[in-house]
Amino acid sequence: MIEVNNLTKVYKLSKNEMAKRKTKKNIKCAASGITFTAKPGEIYGLLGPNGAGKTTTLRCIATLLTPTEGEVKVCGHDTVKEGEAVREDICFLTNEIKLDPFFSPRYLFDFFGHLHGLSEEAIEARRKELFGYFGIDAFEDKKIEELSTGMKQKAAIAVSLVQDPKVVIFDEPTSGLDVITAKSVTDFLAKLKKDGKTIIVSTHIMSEAEKLCDKIGVIIDGKLVTEGTISDIVGKCGTNDLEDAFFVLYRDNHKEEE
Amino acid sequence: MNGVKYIISKEFARVFKDRKLVFSLFILPAVLMIGLYSLIGSLAGSMSKDIKEHVSTVYIQNVPEEIKSLIKTTGYDKLAKITYLQGNASNVDEIKDDILNGDAELLVIFDKNFSEDVKNFKTPSVTIGYNSAKDYSQNAYSTFNQVIANTYSQTVIAERIGGAEKLTVFKTVNEEIVKEDEKNGQFLAMLIPYLITFLIFASAMGIVTDAIAGEKERGTMARLLMTPVKRSHLAFGKLVSLSGLSIISAIVYAVSMALAMPMMMKTMTGGSTVGFAINFRTGQLLELVVLLVILAYLYVALISALSIRAKDVKTASTYVSPLYIVIMVAALMTMFTGSRDVDPLMHAIPVYGTALSVQKIMTNSLGVVEFLYSVAGNLVLAVLCTVSVTKSFCSEKIMFNA
């Protein structure tokens, strides 16, 4: 279970960053009063354009960032006060978090298994399960730098799931992947959902969201502008599909930065 | 603390599982150092041999008969190709040009009435023209002075006062009162502290910037931070493993140098090892090991504290560069300390104090207080840096530029 309650994250901007963003404000509110709950056995989709605050929200849930205001609880643990306990239960996968290119998937799987406090036997069993599922056995001893993008993504997913976490967070899970690898990833998300995991996925691919997510939250300019099932959102916006609903929400809620 | 163990093993695996890295970090420097020093020794040796064996082209104008016969009796005519010039020779300027261009080495011009003037107790002059920028000419000049000019002068003085023995006023008997260790380690005591303190830093710089800023640049640091291991343990694991690698790298440098230096000096000096021989006692060796381990840890902590603030390896190297110069200067300062007494408190200055202590270890003169000051000075700074690195590991601004 993930409970996000009134999450606000404000970044202080340096003079360089202010110049880059062409703004006179020395702060940027990346997330403002975001509240939602993701339950076990459910895929919660965070939709939003680039820079909307999806990644900031996910990073706060994953304990990588500290909320400026509000609180986030993962499996009942506070992400600020009980960061280590949260990290035992969570897997965070994003394109920005990569695997060390100098090691093999097998080495890294074992290494992160050890850091999660797993025994050799548990690591071995988990490796067989995940490497078998993703077909990583075939290249488990090759260095990451020698693998294709798809292979790397599969290895990254397997390594992230080493401790069999209760909560899985995927930031743009299929971004940059070919159709076949993307399919294996979305199939795996469905499997995780079936296994009763709590899953949050951020994406801007509407078809992917429609296919995968049980519930959707739309973030625009750091605010959760709407939340509900796909039919709820489509109904509220009076459109035929999620994509059109998203454009309506964007048009009504987006403000140009001063 | 289990996390620390796995971080250490990963950092070691990162280096030792990569053959290219092992080669470039440990084998290549050793080969280069031994090769370089051997080459310097052999080139310097052959240069000095060549200068000695070179037959100089010498022109002598107005040569007196007694000098001519001295040239024969001393065998100087075999060391040089001598051309005697007449009193009114017109090609003196051409000879000077030849000396300037390196085609001749020496032009000696005696006064016309040289012999007469010497007999009459007047002071005639001998003009010796040579090119101080050319090794052959410089050597020809000193050989002529030593073999001909000085010998002749001594002979004339002896004749004037009625016997060579009267020239000796007293005999000096030299008695060396010196500790063998100090004498033998003199040269190394000047060189090694500089090299060790500087080389450990040089070894640490590449490894640490890659392991800290490199991990941020490659996006692999965040994955480490996503594990339930305490951030302080992650930081400590990194620092310990990187110190280990830096020490191994520094040992490779030091051993290569220890092998290469005597080889070089033997080639250059024809076999003498004075100033290069050290007999370490167990205590000295222990002190050296303790000091170097702490120094390596301090360097790693300092470089980490700077590198962690960088987004990539390139920026990290820019941040570390000024520190590199400071370390070099601190290490260099010990080379010119000489044998003057240094206040024991100076040993508490990080890096410089260690270099001073290493210097004293080389001559077996390091006191317990000085040793403890060195250890304490470095440890205090190392602890401060460790705290800074640990705090940085917990800072989202530094780790994620948030």
A43-59 pLDDT, tens digit per residue, is 999 998 888 889 999 99
- Residue A116, phi then psi, degrees to nearest 5: -85, 5
Give the percent of chain A with pLDDT over 70: 99
- Residues of chain A with C-beta less than 8 angstroms from the C-beta of B230: 84
Helical ranges in B24-80 per DSSP H:
28-53, 65-74, 76-79
Q: What are the pLDDT digits (tens) for B85-122?
A: 877 767 888 999 999 999 999 999 999 889 999 888 88
d(CA B354, CA B342): 13
Angle at B95 between CA B90 and CA B97, to 5 degrees: 120
A111 closest CB neighbour out of B6, B396, B400: B6
In 3D space, the residue among B324, B301, B311, B304 whose CA is nearest the CA of residue B212 turns out to be B304
- CB neighbour list of residue B198: distance below 8 Å, 6 or more residues apart: B327, B328, B331, B332
Q: How many CB atoms lie within 10 A of CB A179?
A: 8
Q: Is B43 on the interface with A (CB under 8 A)?
A: no
Name B83's bridge partners.
B59
Calculate mean pLDDT across residues A13-22: 79
CATH number of B55-167: 3.40.1710
- Residues of chain A with C-beta less than 8 angstroms from the C-beta of B14: 100, 102-103
pLDDT of residue B276: 56
Calculate mean pLDDT across residues A234-247: 88
Query: What residue segments make up the domains of chain B, in order of their start?
Result: 2-45+183-401, 55-167
In 3D space, the residue among B59, B274, B313 whose CA is nearest the CA of residue B182 turns out to be B274
The helix/strand/coil state of A34 is strand
A98 closest CB neighbour out of B220, B225, B228: B220
A64 closest CB neighbour out of B13, B14, B222: B222
Name the residue in chain B with its Cα closest to that of A56.
B402
- Residues of chain A with C-beta less than 8 angstroms from the C-beta of B229: 84, 115
Distance from CA of A11 to the nearest CA of B (A): 6
Cβ–Cβ of A102/B18 closer than 8 Å? yes
Cβ–Cβ of A103/B13 closer than 8 Å? yes
Cβ–Cβ of A97/B222 closer than 8 Å? yes
Upper half-sphere CA count for residue A100 (Cβ side, 13 Å): 22
d(CA B360, CA B369): 12
Name the residue in chain A with its Cα closest to that of B220.
A98
Enter the pTM of the model.
Answer: 0.78
Q: Is B2 on the interface with A (CB under 8 A)?
A: yes
- Residues of chain B with C-beta less than 8 angstroms from the C-beta of A85: 228
Beta-carbon pairs below 8 A across chains A and B: 69
A4-43 burial by CB neighbour count: b if 16+ within 10 A, else e?
beebbbebebeeeeeeeeeeeeeebbbbbebebebeeebb
- Residues of chain B with C-beta less than 8 angstroms from the C-beta of A98: 218-220, 223
Distance from CA of A41 to the nearest CA of B (A): 23
pLDDT of residue B90: 72
Q: What are the pLDDT digits (tens) for B29-69?
A: 888 878 887 887 788 778 888 888 889 999 999 999 999 99
Q: Is the pLDDT confidence value at A258 over 60?
A: no
**DSSP classification of residue B349:** S
**ipTM at complex level:** 0.88
Calculate mean pLDDT across residues B212-236: 91
Distance from CA of A229 to the nearest CA of B (A): 30
Upper half-sphere CA count for residue B207 (Cβ side, 13 Å): 35
A11 closest CB neighbour out of B2, B228, B402: B402
